[in-house]
Structure 1
């Protein structure tokens, strides 16, 4: 795989870092540690031999191996990496010093790969590769969601013999929070995990499947999720974008009152339409009137309120219409319809209006007397 080796130039003083440098590099991926060939030992003429890397990993995914001659290629970047110790509670059990990862006297490099059409994402630091089959996930509101994350280590490697820890964090627009953290060595969850999220612990221990399970997708779940796997000496992380909902959610409409009283000429009636449960913004609300002759005309948008956001991230908005029978040509009445135009679709709700004429009004007054 063709890669770029990227690192920062030394700073120019004052604590400022310089620009980054890029060097062409080559990465050989093999599934057998003893399968080195003459090809993996030979560097192309335009690549520095020190920038040829060979790793052993199970990364045989079609999106990382495009057809020969293809213009589109997977993206690959290699960076220098310096392990930094962490004292998080869910990684403390991995080492005697309660710090993980512990610094090792060695040159470490991290690699980030992205397959064709974002089919696969991989973040790997030497012996701790972590992968995601879906760099972005989408869902309808209320549906269960799986955010893919898996890690692979060589069981014979002494660095992986002391357990692991998994952490999921949410990050978007400067807002970050811990979603879930699990100490795999002590088999315990951190007390701060959110409601409605979980891991498949059997799959996690048996196959390294650290995927995050969301019981119900909500609008507030949209954003970037970061899966981090800690080993006794290393950590690796990968990001997944989640968009909820995949399809815009249209509003539900309700009209109040649901049944209009009998109107007389000169009378003014108020009717309100409530749109709720839609996402995302915006929403367009209008009123229509269909008379007894079957013809429809617009009554305008009425008095539209500002939008309100519910606990699940969806929105609501309302409009109020004054039906002034002395100003509006409503005839003997008809059908008053509230129309909501949204990216998820157009919704309508209607109520019947009956207007009595002057003769009926006199007869009605006589009956009342």
Structure 2
């Protein structure tokens, strides 16, 4: 009992110590220097920096940390994050791991937004004393590439002790969805309630980009509680969760092919903007069919024309090929055949076909021809049986069957022959006996 109590006490102390000292990581970041307009600069445009993150302001002091040799002391930052967004475990890899989070810091100059949606946020004049400070914008991605964070921090001019004012997070950096399924693109934000910038409301904007083209999906004015723009049918927000928990996630009621692309979630406070990006991939595997099916009975050595059609798939990338599985179980790859170009259907999905001229000379007596489609949404296959006639070299089983049939036929022929022979002898005997009796009758 004493040993058990001791172990419990030790475990409790370790837990408390770990919670107080090991919950927030030291983040290695690249500080991106501002480019000087005009002229050429031969020096590096980024410096290595460190972010010492804690939940409480009194948990660390700048003078208690010595800069490593490779880090400039001016690039040490001490960040207080009451929401502990920057303390997430995915930003703190195991010691010795080669996978580390990505982190980039840029200097920030707060200014009124020119976006029509966010202009009302800055109508009341705010104190310039609060805005006159050192502001940084930090972009992070977890070491497992599953989470992205955008953080805006503020420090009194000339100091390195920053407070987090606004964070924006997504846990859906890459989303794959089947066609027609509902989609949730995660985006949540936290704003410092003690900051004067959080008292006049917020705005949320979702934009879409694909191959250089972009469009506005949805815009929401949190100050007046209204949707100022809805450019996508079936796109909406959970407004109760938005105001209650800062959940600005985009909901697509039904995934369509044209939804594939990059989505950018932006949150606006007066003079501040943070954004995170994520990718949506709408993936639908193909449906395969073979024509003709079933295959006609074919003589060995002839050529069969077979066509495979793959339809209803997205995206375009599809590996379509043929295989033959013989009666012995061995599989032979026959190639991709003659491929057609892609055709796009009304719903945005694609079709493609392959035509195969199958030479049956070396296929054996029977087997299975399969069309295989390898796609990001999964591998699909469809097959038909093939039976050939006129084999030049029958199998052992066929030879034994032929011998058996020949023996049966021979036995039947002998049986019929014996039957006819027996019937003929009896008739002759009767005739002879009849003739003898006749002679006896005639001769007395």
Assess same fold via TM > 0.5: yes
CA contact (8 A) 2:323 2:331 kept: no
Matched, 1:6 2:40: no
| Residue 68 (structure 1) shift | 4.9
CA pair 73-19 structure 1, distance change in 2 beyond 3 A: same
| RMSD of equivalent CA atoms | 4.2
Partner of 2:4: none
- Rounded to whole Å, the distance in 2 between the matches of 1:299 and 1:76 is 49
Aligned 1:140-179 pairs, distance under 5 A:
140-179=178-217
Conserved? CA contact 1:305–1:317, under 8 Å: yes
Q: Give the secondary structure class of the aligned counterpart of 1:63.
A: helix
Deviations 1:255-280 (A, max 9, x none): 567789999xxxx9997653201234
2:345 corresponds to 1:310:
yes
Greater mean deviation of Cα atoms: 281-290 or 156-165: 281-290
In the alignment, the residues of structure 2 paired with residue 28 and residue 300 of structure 1 have an alpha-carbon distance, to the nearest angstrom, of: 58
Match of 1:55 in 2: 80
Separation of aligned partners in 2, 1:131 and 1:109: 17
**2:157 pairs with 1:120:** no
Of 38, 43, 47, which residue of structure 2 is paired with 1:23?
A: 47
Distance 1:286 1:45 in 2: 62
Q: Equivalent residues in 2 for 1:282-293 (5 A)?
A: 282-284=318-320, 286=322
Change in CA separation of 1:213 and 1:19 when aligned onto 2, cut-off 3 Å = farther
**How far apart are 1:186 and its partner, in Å?**
1.6
Match of 2:382 in 1: 348
- Per the TM alignment, residue 10 of structure 1 is displaced from its structure 2 partner at its CA by 2.2
Q: Deviations 1:330-362 (Å, cap 9, x if unpaired)? A: xxxx9996724323324226599999xxxxxxx
8 A Cα contact 2:343 2:352, kept in partner: yes
Per-residue CA distance 1:286-331 (angstroms, 9 max, x = gap): 597999xxx99999977643111234442102356799xxx999xx
Contact map agreement 2:112 2:270 (CA 8 A) in 1: no
Taking structure 1 as the reference length, the TM-score comes to 0.73
Find the counterpart in structure 2 of residue 193 from structure 1. Answer: 231
SS in 2 for 1:89: coil
Find the counterpart in structure 1 of residue 169 from structure 2: 131
Give the whole-Å Cα distance in 2 for the aligned partners of 1:196 and 1:51: 46
SS of alignment partner, residue 216 of structure 1: coil
Paired residues of 2:204 and 2:265 also in contact (CA < 8 A): yes
Q: How far does the alpha carbon of each residue in 1:79-136 deviate from its partner, in whole angstroms, 9 at most, with x for none? A: 11123543323223323279xxxx9443321111222212332111121111122332
CA distance in 1, matches of 2:67, 2:345: 61
Q: Do the aligned residues in 2 keep the contact of 1:40 with 1:54 (CA within 8 Å)? A: no
Alignment CA distance shift 1:176-1:68 (3 Å): same
1: CA distance between counterparts of 2:245 and 2:385?
59
- Whether 1:110 aligns to 2:146 is no
CA distance in 2, matches of 1:235, 1:181: 14
Aligned length: 339
| SS at 2:144 equivalent | helix
**How far apart are the structure 1 equivalents of 2:333 and 2:97?**
56
- CA displacement at 1:227 relative to structure 2: 1.1
Give the equivalent residue in structure 2 for 1:86: 113
What CA distance in whole angstroms lies between the structure 2 residues aligned with 1:286 and 1:68?
A: 49
Indicate conservation of the 8 Å contact 1:78/1:110, yes or no.
yes
Report the TM-score, using the length of structure 2 for normalisation.
0.62
Contact 1:118 1:134 in 2 (8 A): no
Supply the distance in 2 between the matched residues of 1:12 and 1:296 (Cα, whole angstroms).
66
**How many Å apart are 1:161 and its aligned residue?**
1.1
Could you say if the C-alpha distance between residues 251 and 18 of structure 1 is closer, same or farther in structure 2, counting changes exceeding 3 Å? same
Extract unaligned runs of 5+ from structure 2.
1-25, 154-164, 390-444
Equivalence for 1:202: 240
Contact 2:180 2:255 in 1 (8 A): yes
Look up the match of 2:288: 253
Aligned pair in 2 of structure 1 residues 79, 218: CA closer, same or farther (>3 Å)? Answer: same
Match of 2:312 among 277, 285, 291: 277
- CA distance, structure 2, for counterparts of residue 321 and residue 71 of structure 1: 48
